[in-house]
A = this chain, B = another copy of it.
Amino acid sequence: MIEVKHQKELEKIVGSENFYNDKAHLIAYCYDATKERYEPDCIIYPRNESDVSKILKYCNTHKISVLPRGGGSGFTGGALPVNGGVVLAMEKHFNQILEIDEKNLIARVQPAVINKHFQEVVEKIGLFYPPDPASQEYCTLGGNVSENAGGMRAAKYGITKDYVMAIRAVLPNGEIIRAGKKTIKDVAGYNVAGILIASEGSLAVITEITLKLIAKPKISKSAMGVFSDIQSAMNAVYKTMAGGVTPVAMEFLDNLSIRAVEEKFHKNLPIEAGAILITQVDGDIPEQIKWQLEKIQEKFTENGCIDFKIAQSKEEEENLWFARRNASQSITVYGKKKLNEDITVPRSRLPELLEKISIVSKKYGFKIPCFGHTGDGNVHTNVMVPDDKDEEQLKRGHQAIEEIFKIAIELEGTLSGEHGIGLSKAPFMSLAFTPAEMELFRSIKRAFDPNNILNTGKMGL
């Protein structure tokens, strides 16, 4: 609990119209997409970088917890103020696109710009910002950097880190730093921007981001492959990509996910299929599209694809992607509580991964529908617990999740492909990291934040 005198001082920095500690505000900022709740002591809307600096300096001196918050759309509790303190809400005064430099294919943005809005603005002038997390309609670019967000297009275009050229940030001691440059190459000094990416708001408060853009490919086309069993589909994924074609996206739905979407939306999906793969290719000339689709069809067919359909119109394309986009909400038919994880493995281990998940499903008696970004080995694994009031069921659900984490790591994969660690995955860090590695993380944290004020109690540190 922040003492009243400190709250008064913080209020003075930003003015009363940017400082709130009334119940309505505390409740509005106590949650994120995990639906867990922790109330902060106050909400501050910093007006500018200088405010951020003053707030951090004050809080650092008085050891007050500060949580920088973007869209609050994270799945792992990264935006939950577990130790109370200040929520630094960036959305009010840090939501501007500062510059789109068409000459250099670069944009400068404030951290609370919404991903989708940014995409639309740059696409209007023929440019392209590929990272497209599923929450793109409400997640912020600052949050994307802090979590190193991925999305469907990562197979070809990479993830947020591949587009961050520079970051301006405020350190816990109030010092303003710039890291990186508007240049593709820059090797002067340590790669501070690199370590701020995916640091979940625990090292510094980001106040400006310089992003790389690319020219928007002129044409794209989508296709769907139907497979009788999931192993064949997973083989098709990695063999296609190892075969020299790199689609923008290579997404999958397993049988449970297909059935759930069909039950809810009646889209005429192949409900007997073991899995479907939905893929998109892009390029600048029609021959490139044709070549890629032929290659994909060839590899799919070699690996047991029983039906391959290329979308012939915008509408058909929309229909293909509808199933993928609505999988997450549809699978709730299998249980009231969804324990949703985003494990990732090297693509060639996908067949084993899905095989082992089906064993976990049988062992615990939970349905575990899977879908996601197979093009980069990232599988959204959903343990569906029928009754969210049954403690025993929930406990077994979490045990199933822990087994799945262990499987992912055994298969050279990771706890999290794109959601981060935050609070939810913190207990599992020791599965993935040695004590020496955890100690190094803590040393890095201390180097930036010696008084431990920024997003405290996260990442298992």
Contacts and interface: CB of A to CB of B under 8 A. Distances in A.
Best-buried of A197, A214, A215, A244 by chain B (most CB within 10 Å): A244
Contacts of A161: 191, 194
A448 interface: yes
A187 interface: yes
A184 B375 CA distance: 9
B414 A181 contact: yes
B447 A443 contact: yes
A322 interface: no
Nearest to A146: B187
Best-buried of A176, A245, A412, A439 by chain B (most CB within 10 Å): A412
A284 interface: yes
B103 A348 contact: yes
B191 A104 contact: no
A347 B103 CA distance: 8
B244 A215 contact: yes
A interface residue count range (under 10 / 10 to 19 / 20 to 34 / 35 or more):
35 or more
A4 B291 CA distance: 67
Interface stretch (A21-29, A354-362, A417-425): A417-425
Nearest to A204: B440
A176 B418 CA distance: 26
A375 to B, nearest CB: 8
A421 B195 contact: no
Contact of A414 (B148, B186, B197, B443): B186
Interface in A190-247: 190-192, 194-195, 197-199, 203, 214-216, 238-239, 241-246
A414 B210 CA distance: 15
A36 to B, nearest CB: 19
B189 A432 contact: yes
Interface string A417-461: 111110001000100111011011101111110000000000100
A305 interface: no
A4 to B, nearest CB: 32
B183 A414 contact: yes
Given A171-B440, A177-B437, A346-B183, A414 B105 contact: no
A416 interface: yes
Contacts of A242: 102-105, 215
A432 B183 CA distance: 14
Contact of A175 (B245, B412, B436): B436
16 contacts: A103-B238, A154-B185, A171-B436, A181-B413, A183-B344, A183-B413, A188-B415, A188-B432, A190-B198, A190-B444, A191-B195, A192-B441, A215-B243, A215-B246, A285-B287, A443-B447
Given A158-B162, A159-B185, A187-B198, 17 more contacts: A101-B346, A101-B348, A103-B242, A105-B241, A147-B187, A148-B185, A162-B162, A171-B436, A175-B439, A176-B436, A182-B413, A183-B345, A190-B441, A191-B195, A191-B197, A440-B448, A443-B448
Q: Which 9 A-B pairs have the closest CB atoms?
A: A194-B194, A103-B348, A185-B417, A215-B244, A175-B436, A447-B447, A287-B287, A184-B376, A443-B447
